[in-house]
Amino acid sequence: MKTWLRGARRLALPVMLATLAVASPALAQFGKNKVQYRNFHWYTIETDHFDIYYYEGEEESALHAARMAERGYARLSKILNHDIEDRVPVIVYASHTDFQQTNITPGLIGEGTGGITEYAKRRVFLPFTGSYGEFDHVLTHELVHAFQVDLMFNSGGEVNPFSFQPPLWFMEGMAEYLSIGGIDANTEMWLRWSALEGQLIPLHYMDRVFDIRVYRIGQAIFDFVGQRYGDDKIGELLRKTVYYRSVDVAFEKTLGLDLRALNDEWEQYVRRKYYPQIVHLNRPEEQGRRLIKNRDFSSMNVAPAISPDGERVVYIRQGRFSTDIVMSSAIDGSFLGRLVEGERSSDFESLRYLYTAIGWSPDGTRIAFPSKRGGEDVLNILDVDSRTVLDRLSFGFGAIYSPAFDPEGNRIAFVGVEAGKSDLFLVDLRTRELVRITDDPYLVRDPQWSPDGDRIAFVTDRGDDTDLENLVFGKPKIGILELESGNIELLAGQAGKNIAPFWGPDGNYLAFVSDRDGISNLYVQSLETDRLYRLTNLITGVTGITESSPPFSWARSGDRIVFTTFMGEGWELYQIEDPLSKLEEVEVVEPLERIARRERETVVPWAAPETLVRSNHPVAETEQLDALFGPVDASMASFDPESSEPESLDSSEDDLTDLLEPSGGLVTVAGPGTRNEPARPARRRFDPVEEPGSGQQVTLASVIEETRYRLPDTDSLSIRPYKLKWAPDFVGAAPFFASNVGFAGTAQVAISDILSNHVIQIGASIYGSIESSDLFLGYYNLAHRTNWGLAAYQYRNDFGLYTASNEVGFETNIYRGVQGLISHPFSMFNRVEFVLRGVAIDERVFRQSFESNYVLTEETRSGNRYYAGGELAFVKDNVVWGYYGPVHGTRARISSEQAFGDIQFNTTILDYRHYFALGRTSSFAVRLIGGTSNGNTPQLFRIGGPTTLRGVDYGEFIGHNVALINTELRFPLVETLRLGWPLRVGLGGVGGVLFFDVGSAFYDDERMVRHGALDDATAGYGLGFRLGLGYFALKYDISQRTDLKRRIGGSMNYFSIGVDF
């Protein structure tokens, strides 16, 4: 007998119960956990345009955020000529650790995410990192997105977010340009490398790029547009993009040229600007020896720390499945082993690779490094030889960066982030006593002890260009702290960015990284004479992932420096022998662009557009420069969409994806029922096609200067306790007509508060009458570590009983129930779940005649059966996902359910899955399932088909017990599949699978094996293909059934959509 169901009804309950996974991934069968380690007590600061949400302990930082937000609004509303319709919620977190606990986005937040703007409720949420200057940048970046979203959805733009969204380079590039105020040295590094290597991606192909390049290239495009056509065109471009639903049309209507023409002008501009600079610069192999190539093991090799004797280097490497601390020879780069596997256990959930350095003990036996462990960062002391953690120090900090041992190895200086601020701390390893050294709003990063142990050099934004009262923060500088007196002295003659100080072996020299000439290079300064020496002069620069990442290390012996440099596809490690013998004294460091202009003698062939200001800059008479400005050969050619498109544009495990994402006074405390809401200006509205005339050109630089001190007084701000404000997250409905039930439809609604800590979900699939419909109502509380929920539901299942020539018979079961859910995570990877439910089952048998106008007749009605029960489950999940499914790690779930009442059973199920990586592209997957059910009315297991046991029909095996083994070898067949006609559509490529399944669902008296062959069990083997369709894959499997002695029947073919187990 085959079971059949009405297809529409079968989808209804899964759609509604899938909302459990929306509420929290922890409430799904598998999935990692988003753990709320702290119980936050929330408050709200109200400003003219924002509601700033913060929690107890970060009040001072939140007030700064409120004032920065209003300044950013003033800047953006002026340059974009737009006012946002509604108040903007901004939620701030005291550290990235706290930020990762947010429920506003259900997914896990990676280390490289600096802030998020959410579309449904227009919420902006971001963490403090210990640098108010960096926070100001990220906040303004996210506010640009708030303006973009408001224009797209609130200003007459009929844009459906599912039908049209501007490409990422447009959205993120605009946000970077307007928040930074132009183009910075970090982006110029990308441009310089791209121009030299012929890797400038045409704009009309940039919509296929989804990695870090959308920030860098997008920022550069808007910088060019601002210089060439005026910054006031940016707001017009945004409005016309919304109006015409096309970036290409918007550029043509606004600037008079489409993306291809704009790209031609921009590429000429980039080459003209950067080619003359290259003759003055060196490749890294000209200044040092390469230790680690970006393709040897990983595209990310950062945070190097060289041992005191200069023989070994530890660094952070991004492997295929984890971010690790590894060790190599500092002499020849030979790999010495992995010390720590990050992101795979609760002790090392994150290694803080964006901002931290690693510290060696003076005797070279131990290293110190921070890691995220639970709801805080801890300081780990690891023995290098045994690779074991000797000590783990916990202080309750949201972030810890750059631990450094003192010369005796008894104390460690490090940066701790608390309440949004960074400060310098010392810990005595013998007594575990913690001493705070600084306590102020200034930045603290990268501390390093002097050889005599009397001073600490560190990075700070102290100085004349920082104005704390007006929240203006200067470039980072090198400060020297005298421990005995507590005095801090800034290094003389600092310009630009200055980070990552290291002492020379005798304490008379200080090495650091500076971009004072426009490129981040290594400098050494004499502390006795203040003479400045340049050690490197690189094309890209000495740099980590971000512009403030510590990128080099100097051995205590003084004979070797190891640094990391950007090389287009990743970061590589180089070493310099005897650095003090290679110093080049510089009197005044001049920006490279100025040097190149001064030395040029003729105007280059790529002339600037007529409206650009020209200068008769001489061209250097060198064969190298002539070659650069001659015809572009194949090696220097621009991006070729036909030959290099898949490799250059498609994200892969080796790409740079997910490394970085942009990104005092008295306060009036309002009483209940009052509201401090100043009058707001009238909203500006106009035809997006006909721009209003302003009378004068507005430049970004002038607007930044005009609004620099436009900050609200703190006594104008109002603080209130947090109150729930409910608003929809999702509303969807789909009506339809079916001949057997008439008009019908499905609807889902999800509602939550601003923090998404409280979620209400409603689902309904209506089929003619309420009694025949599927209904769902659930509430989930996600505010604390233990998540819980309540739900009530009704759903109906139809099972076929028989089919005759003139009629069919089927059984209908209507389930009505309530349930409570509890999920308690132990860490990101492990949790325990408990479900308590009460259910009533209404059983009926129907007959439907084909001869009497399909009349439906109820034959029998068994009445209601009731049962109550509970289920307890333990879940483990630390897998790493590939394109079609998990490729590395383990998933396991063991559950036991007990039911009492009219239905009585006890069911235990084990589901274990493990994934073995084979090389860089293939994997081997194993799944073991075992289950048993007993009692007066035991449950039935049903297996067979493409998701369980291939080689047999759907649900062919039934029984009170189940045993199943699936094995699969997974490998790629086609990397990328793109269609050229009728539409240029990119699909995810084609994967292949070789599989072997064996198992059965069986009753107690059945035998699995008889006479050396499978009896009441079966096996299937075959091959399959997977076509990537975004989140899912179209799956086709061919399977042959066998009893392990002979083949049984012919092969079976399965088509399905989903992900591999």
DSSP string, 516-548: TTSS-EEEEEETTT--EEE---BSS-B--SSTT
pLDDT in tens, 251-301: 999 999 999 999 999 999 999 999 888 888 999 999 999 999 876 446 899
370: part of which helix (H) or strand (E)?
A: strand 366-373
pLDDT in tens, 726-737: 999 988 888 776
Spatial separation of the C-alpha atoms in residues 402 and 370, rounded to whole Å: 8
Spatial separation of the C-alpha atoms in residues 732 and 18, rounded to whole Å: 14
Q: Answer yes or no: is 765 within a domain.
A: no
> What pLDDT is stored for residue 1004 in this prediction?
83
Q: How confident is the model at residue 624 (pLDDT cuts 50, 70, 90)?
A: very low
Spatial separation of the C-alpha atoms in residues 646 and 485, rounded to whole Å: 60
Q: Answer yes or no: is 1031 within a domain.
A: yes
Average pLDDT over residues 337-358: 94
Instruction: Show the CA angle centred on residue 560, arms to residues 559 and 561, nearest 5°.
Output: 140
Average pLDDT over residues 870-886: 91
Spatial separation of the C-alpha atoms in residues 585 and 589, rounded to whole Å: 10
Q: Which of 402-406, 691-695, 786-790, 798-802 shows the lowest mean pLDDT across its residues?
A: 691-695
Q: Is the model more confident about 171 or about 740?
A: 171
Q: How confident is the model at residue 589 (pLDDT cuts 50, 70, 90)?
A: low
Average pLDDT over residues 149-173: 75
> What pLDDT is stored for residue 277 in this prediction?
85
Q: List, as own/partner pairs, every contact residues 582-588 make where C-beta atoms lie below 8 angstroms and the sequence separation is at least 24, other chains included.
A: 582/287, 582/535, 583/524, 583/533, 583/534, 583/535, 584/533, 584/534, 584/535, 584/537, 585/531, 585/532, 585/533, 585/534, 586/532, 586/533, 586/534
Residue 531: CATH number of its domain: 2.120.10.30
Domain end (from 533, 560, 589):
589
Average pLDDT over residues 992-1015: 82
Same domain for 477 and 414: yes
**Count of alpha carbons within 13 angstroms of residue 355, beta-carbon side:** 26
Q: How far out from the chain centre does Cα 395 lie? A: 27
Q: Which of 131-145, 292-306, 311-325, 849-863 shows the lowest mean pLDDT across its residues?
A: 849-863
Same domain for 894 and 998: yes
Judge whether residue 1043 has pLDDT over 50: yes
Spatial separation of the C-alpha atoms in residues 780 and 20, rounded to whole Å: 9
Tell me if 48 sits within 8 A of 27, measured CB to CB.
Answer: no
Judge whether residue 336 has pLDDT over 90: yes
> What pLDDT is stored for residue 1014 in this prediction?
72
Spatial separation of the C-alpha atoms in residues 439 and 423, rounded to whole Å: 6
Instruction: Determine the structural domain holding residue 906 and report its residue range.
Output: 879-1061
Domain end (from 567, 589, 611):
589
Spatial separation of the C-alpha atoms in residues 395 and 419, rounded to whole Å: 13
Same domain for 455 and 477: yes
Per the DSSP assignment, residues forming a β-bridge with 51 are 46, 89
> What pLDDT is stored for residue 598 in this prediction?
42
Same domain for 241 and 331: no
Q: Answer yes or no: is 255 within a domain.
A: yes
Q: Answer yes or no: is 902 within a domain.
A: yes
pTM score of the predicted model: 0.85
Residue 1058: CATH number of its domain: 2.40.160.50
Average pLDDT over residues 965-978: 87
Same domain for 999 and 931: yes
Average pLDDT over residues 682-691: 48
Q: How confident is the model at residue 644 (pLDDT cuts 50, 70, 90)?
A: very low
Q: Give the number of other Cβ atoms within 10 Å of residue 736's Cβ.
A: 10
- Dihedral angle of Cα 246, 251, 252, 254, to the nearest 10 degrees: 120
pLDDT in tens, 563-587: 999 987 789 999 999 999 998 888 7
Q: Answer yes or no: is 782 within a domain.
A: no
Spatial separation of the C-alpha atoms in residues 925 and 638, rounded to whole Å: 41
Q: How much of the chain, in percent, has pLDDT values that exceed 70? A: 82
Judge whether residue 672 has pLDDT over 60: no
Same domain for 173 and 247: yes
Judge whether residue 561 has pLDDT over 90: yes
Same domain for 236 and 202: yes
Judge whether residue 313 has pLDDT over 90: yes
DSSP 850: S
Q: How much of the chain, in percent, has pLDDT values that exceed 90? A: 66
> What pLDDT is stored for residue 591 in this prediction?
59
Two tokens, residue 904: 């009585």
DSSP 198: T
Contacts of 631 (CB under 8 A, 6+ apart): none
Phi-psi region of 677 (alpha: psi -120 to 50; beta: other; left: phi over 0): beta
- Domain total of the chain: 3
Q: How confident is the model at residue 619 (pLDDT cuts 50, 70, 90)?
A: very low
Same domain for 460 and 516: yes
Same domain for 253 and 352: no
Same domain for 1031 and 916: yes
Q: How confident is the model at residue 234 (pLDDT cuts 50, 70, 90)?
A: very high
Spatial separation of the C-alpha atoms in residues 404 and 369, rounded to whole Å: 9
Q: Answer yes or no: is 805 within a domain.
A: no
Two tokens, residue 878: 């630390």
Q: Give the number of other Cβ atoms within 10 Å of residue 554's Cβ.
A: 28
Same domain for 302 and 267: no
Judge whether residue 660 has pLDDT over 50: no
Q: Which of 61-75, 411-425, 573-587, 865-879 shows the lowest mean pLDDT across its residues?
A: 573-587
> What pLDDT is stored for residue 715 in this prediction?
86
Q: Is the model more confident about 378 or about 198?
A: 378
Q: How confident is the model at residue 199 (pLDDT cuts 50, 70, 90)?
A: confident
Exposed, middle or buried: residue 464 (CB in 10 Å: 0-12, 13-18, 19+)? exposed
Exposed, middle or buried: residue 568 (CB in 10 Å: 0-12, 13-18, 19+)? middle
Judge whether residue 374 has pLDDT over 50: yes
Q: Give the number of other Cβ atoms within 10 Å of residue 685's Cβ.
A: 10
> What pLDDT is stored for residue 800 in this prediction?
67
Same domain for 188 and 313: no
What is the radius of gyration, based on Cα positions, of the chain?
32
Two tokens, residue 672: 């209940």
pLDDT in tens, 906-934: 999 999 999 999 887 899 999 999 999 99
Judge whether residue 162 has pLDDT over 70: no
pLDDT in tens, 458-475: 999 999 999 999 999 999
Q: Answer yes or no: is 640 within a domain.
A: yes
Q: Which of 76-80, 385-389, 785-789, 1027-1031 shows the lowest mean pLDDT across its residues?
A: 1027-1031
> What pLDDT is stored for residue 4 in this prediction?
28
> What pLDDT is stored for residue 266 in this prediction?
94
> What pLDDT is stored for residue 850 in this prediction?
63
Q: Which of 196-205, 286-295, 401-410, 623-632 shows the lowest mean pLDDT across its residues?
A: 623-632
Domain end (from 659, 684, 712):
659
Judge whether residue 667 has pLDDT over 70: no
Q: Answer yes or no: is 16 within a domain.
A: no
Work out the mean pLDDT of the chain and round it to a whole number.
84
Spatial separation of the C-alpha atoms in residues 959 and 940, rounded to whole Å: 5
